[in-house]
Structure 1
């Protein structure tokens, strides 16, 4: 989750500098049909969650599903303003579940507590392009750090709204969005998205604006602002720097910060006091050193002010913080957390496509309402292999295991959680 930022003052300077001018992408338009693409991403997912010492309610969830994500993207018609269409089709199939094992978030759940056998959703967006600026209206995925749709289960979230993305100046990306609804990952209807605590209230309106600028090939920055009606206003900033020390060594530094303040009705409030509105800062700083096949990463994260860092109603992926990992985000009020991570790329040893990762995050000082010094830790282990050639080229196989513990069980309803995910994913490009 590395993005870049931009300042309005620097934009004004750049706009007056001729060297930043770019060729028009619309001038190269080949046509609505000629530039069309169609792909289907197939994902098989086994998900197991064991709340080891949960004495109330269901202690174990275990389900398997198969998801299909079809995306058609037309080209743009020729002329000064190009017109095109994007269409999305999503289908989820239940392969294994049970009334006592539902609740993984892979499928919609009925009133009887059972997961549905199948579910589908989809939509389309019309798009317009002028020079290097694209306006899109309708159903679309989002990746902005203040409004990012989530794709961590079988099928992704699908927001509805208007977005505009401009790349008129070299190395500068500007974007803005206006969204009024979203379909949750395991739902089929609009306004099914929930906020982080899981309250179902529906998205009324979310607006954002921001940009990404690459000052050099090694140094990038970004700045974003958003407002979610009756929830909050957010300001996000990022600085990212990478530097090659030699042919097989490099350094990377990444800094992220959110400033969140309640807005309007302030529907999400500080967890320790349901009358206190949010007014907090959450930041993370991480550094990584890569030597040949090995990458070593250290990170620190801190939340200060009133309330947890809140997200969810503005997209389940809107948490671009270093210690937001498989199970926990380490985002409680006043919480401090640090991370140690190790990655191994086996291509250096003659096995391209095979990689391993392990990390450990420890958090303390969390104000949760029941304690002022909540503690939690998580250890993740992952192995992944991507087939490099042949009929199954690009098929990826991944194993993800997470072990989570907290001091008082206030997180996720249990102080001990073990998770296992087995993921097979195959992208097929038809056009």
Structure 2
């Protein structure tokens, strides 16, 4: 259940164009050591899910908490025509609470006796090469493509293994292509955990104007499915204090080969309109799924669902489902409390094909976050997320169970180099 970051592609392309200059990135390289960085992120997470004693699940309550630390090193590139560098990471988790009888939220792996691991650790790295404004990276890495995306919704992120090329040679245009042969789960300490054998991806985004960006992507997940994706994002400035944004996302998915993810035949799209005025943002979104199945993802990463109504618990991606969202965001900086924000949204879906009666579902989310602005704890963030999910009996039998999902998340980023 991936919460889409608003205008992710637009932000990425804007960043690339703002950095574009006559000289290429490689020509401006200061060196392997001179451009290096080392960051450490500490994340503490408490998570419980109450399935309201639903008879269709043997475990009606799940509760776990833990702390994770991730150190990520990124070297600069050596000087010269072709720059060379390395990236590396070291992860570790410690379980604070959550016995075997309350497990199931995806925070910890299990040992050979089916008990939750008390501690876990993982290390990895990649080598990278840069020619002009084109970078090739091979090894362990984090990927954020709409058709192949590593999830980071628990203590540690998924990690993909393979090769990714990113090119920004033309102002406003970003091209990507990659081949991956493994992706670890968020609790997996090995190279694989999601059943991936081979994934080929390609994508392009182009900033047509300061306010309009479009992107396309495609993937071939061996013996699972093929996907095509499109994104259109347009912002209409009204005045210095107001703007209107439109964001369209669409997928076309078809099974292939051995169909290891089952039958897949789906077209799904979402359109969101967001009106921002001062500290307030009001969003309306509609999402619609058609085809012989719902939208399927996971083998290609549990973040691979760039849709407006993919929220905290549900994705609203059932077969033939139609869903609507109303959302409100508030930034308290305008009212003298910088770093404090609030969000609430409601999504309802219907017309879901269940093989019987019409499936229906709805979810209400509430979230607040505070980021310390200065002092010794600067950038420490505290976040509370709550979701209340309900579905009728026909869809519960297919999709899961009624659920209250509560999470407390503390994060502290530290830049060492």
TM-score with structure 2 setting the length: 0.94
Q: Quote how far apart the aligned CAs of 1:35 are.
A: 0.8
Gaps of 5+ in 2: 11-19
Structure 2: distance between partners of 1:401 and 1:290: 24
1:34 aligns with: 34
Q: Quote how far apart the aligned CAs of 1:111 are.
A: 4.9
Q: Quote how far apart the aligned CAs of 1:21 are.
A: 8.0
Structure 2: distance between partners of 1:325 and 1:267: 26
Q: Quote how far apart the aligned CAs of 1:29 are.
A: 1.1
1:83 aligns with: 84
Q: Deviations over 1:132-162 (max 9, x none)?
A: 0000000000001000000000000001000
Q: Quote how far apart the aligned CAs of 1:411 are.
A: 4.8
1:413 corresponds to which of 385, 390, 400: 400
Structure 2: distance between partners of 1:339 and 1:52: 24
> Per the alignment, in what secondary structure is the counterpart of residue 27 of structure 2?
helix
Q: Deviations over 1:168-193 (max 9, x none)?
A: 01111100110000111011112212
> Per the alignment, in what secondary structure is the counterpart of residue 28 of structure 1?
coil
1:219 corresponds to which of 191, 212, 216: 212
Q: Quote how far apart the aligned CAs of 1:23 are.
A: 2.3
Structure 2: distance between partners of 1:109 and 1:388: 38
Structure 2: distance between partners of 1:299 and 1:396: 28
Q: CA RMSD in A?
A: 1.4
Is contact 1:94-1:118 (8 Å) kept?
A: yes
Q: Does 1:283 align with 2:289?
A: no
Alignment of 1:225-374 (within 5 A): 225-269=218-262, 277-369=263-355, 371-374=356-359
Is contact 1:365-1:372 (8 Å) kept?
A: no
Q: Quote how far apart the aligned CAs of 1:368 are.
A: 3.1
Structure 2: distance between partners of 1:429 and 1:156: 19
> Per the alignment, in what secondary structure is the counterpart of residue 368 of structure 1?
coil
Q: Quote how far apart the aligned CAs of 1:247 are.
A: 1.3
Structure 1: distance between partners of 2:22 and 2:346: 44
Q: Quote how far apart the aligned CAs of 1:362 are.
A: 0.3
Is contact 1:70-1:90 (8 Å) kept?
A: yes
Q: Does 1:403 align with 2:388?
A: yes
1:49 aligns with: 49
Structure 2: distance between partners of 1:64 and 1:343: 28
Q: Does 1:392 align with 2:377?
A: yes
Structure 1: distance between partners of 2:114 and 2:351: 36
1:207 corresponds to which of 196, 200, 203: 200
Q: Deviations over 1:8-61 (max 9, x none)?
A: xxxxxxxxxxxx985211111111111110001110000010010322411111
Q: How many residues align?
A: 400
Structure 2: distance between partners of 1:139 and 1:372: 45
Is contact 2:265-2:294 (8 Å) kept?
A: no
> Per the alignment, in what secondary structure is the counterpart of residue 410 of structure 1?
helix
Alignment of 1:65-144 (within 5 A): 65-144=66-145
Structure 1: distance between partners of 2:412 and 2:398: 34
Structure 2: distance between partners of 1:305 and 1:393: 49
Is contact 1:103-1:109 (8 Å) kept?
A: no
Q: Quote how far apart the aligned CAs of 1:215 are.
A: 0.7
> Per the alignment, in what secondary structure is the counterpart of residue 100 of structure 1?
helix
- Relative to structure 1, the CA distance from residue 304 to residue 220 in structure 2 (aligned partners, 3 Å threshold; closer, same or farther) is same
> Per the alignment, in what secondary structure is the counterpart of residue 310 of structure 2?
coil
1:190 aligns with: 191
2:16 aligns with: none
> Per the alignment, in what secondary structure is the counterpart of residue 400 of structure 1?
strand
Q: Deviations over 1:98-156 (max 9, x none)?
A: 12211110000235443110111121100000000000000000001000000000000
